[in-house]
Structure 1
């Protein structure tokens, strides 16, 4: 069984570009509950971490098609799972 692709921000993309991605993805009926305050994926509370979760949730909801992981050229697919602790991305 091959590794699953995940959608993550490109290296060097700052919070000013990731915050709109986070807001947009969470407005598209994807699972953003785990990145809300006081839940499992809030730490670290960095925009990058939260945006990664939201962007990947959108990508997965769209069936993992390449065009669902663009976010104005700020994202890329990877097989490296960014999950940590109880916060699971796949």
Structure 2
């Protein structure tokens, strides 16, 4: 059985681009309640964490299809779980 894949922003991607990814993924009906309230998956308070949650959750909801993870070359796959604190990606 393969390792679970997560989608994370590439290093160096700016906050404005991360915000666009977050807004787009959230608008796809993926159930982003934990990030829309900026409570659980928005800590620490940077756009990187909620954007990571949104793109990873979108990818998972689409069945892990490879072409749902690129986000205009601003995201990449990893097997390292980006969960932190109470924010769980699995």
TM-score normalised by length of structure 1: 0.92
Count of equivalent residues: 90
How far off is 1:39 after superposition?
2.7
Cα distance in structure 2, aligned partners of 1:22 and 1:81: 19
Which deviates more from structure 2 when the two are superposed, residues 40-49 or residues 20-29?
A: 40-49
Cα distance in structure 1, aligned partners of 2:22 and 2:38: 18
Q: 1:38 to 1:51 in 2, by over 3 A?
A: closer
Cα distance in structure 1, aligned partners of 2:24 and 2:14: 16
Q: Which runs of 5+ in 2 are unaligned?
A: none
Q: Which runs of 5+ in 1 are unaligned?
A: none
Corresponding residue for 2:36? 36
Corresponding residue for 2:83? 83
Say if 1:31 and 1:54, in contact at 8 Å, map to a contact too: no
Cα distance in structure 2, aligned partners of 1:38 and 1:6: 20
How far off is 1:38 after superposition?
5.4
Which deviates more from structure 2 when the two are superposed, residues 43-52 or residues 32-41?
A: 32-41
SS at match of 2:72: coil
The CA RMSD over aligned residues, in Å, is 1.2
TM-score normalised by length of structure 2: 0.92
SS at match of 1:34: helix
Point out 4+ residue stretches in structure 1 off by more than 4 angstroms: none
